[in-house]
Amino acid sequence: MIKPLADRIVVKPAEAEQKTSSGLFIPDNAKEKPMQGKVVAVGPGRKNDKGELVAMEVKVGDVVLYGKYSGTEVNVDGENYLIVKESDVIATL
């Protein structure tokens, strides 16, 4: 498993929508990149100017919304993950 450093979070992105609300199927090249996912790992936090550790606000199991082009995509053991900084997380659901 991936162990994130500092204020980084490992997110398992939600699957892209396969069809529209009216029932039309969306081709792969037209699918929107998902902007939400489940947190699977959290780093220890960042250090402030005084060198003190600032705890993370999100925790494993949270469902989060993040910026559309945030983070770095990685593939580990055939699973796709996204590594984002905590500051790229917009909200928790």
| pLDDT in the model for residue 72 | 94
CATH tag for 8-14+34-92 (out of 2.40.50.140, 2.30.33.40, 2.40.128.520, 3.40.50.300)? 2.30.33.40
What are 33-47's pLDDT values in tens digits? 668 999 999 999 999
Tokens encoding 10: 């490992």
Domain boundaries, the chain: 8-14+34-92
**Sheet containing 79-85, strands listed edge to edge, beginning at the edge strand earlier in sequence:** 72-76, 79-85, 8-13, 36-42, 63-66, 89-92
pTM for the model stands at 0.80
What are 79-90's pLDDT values in tens digits? 999 999 999 999
At residue 15 the predicted structure's pLDDT band, cuts being 50, 70 and 90, is: confident
pLDDT exceeding 70 applies to what percent of the chain? 80
Which of 43, 14, 19 is closest to 30 using CA atoms?
Answer: 19
b (16+ CB within 10 A) / e for 37-48: bebbbbbebbee
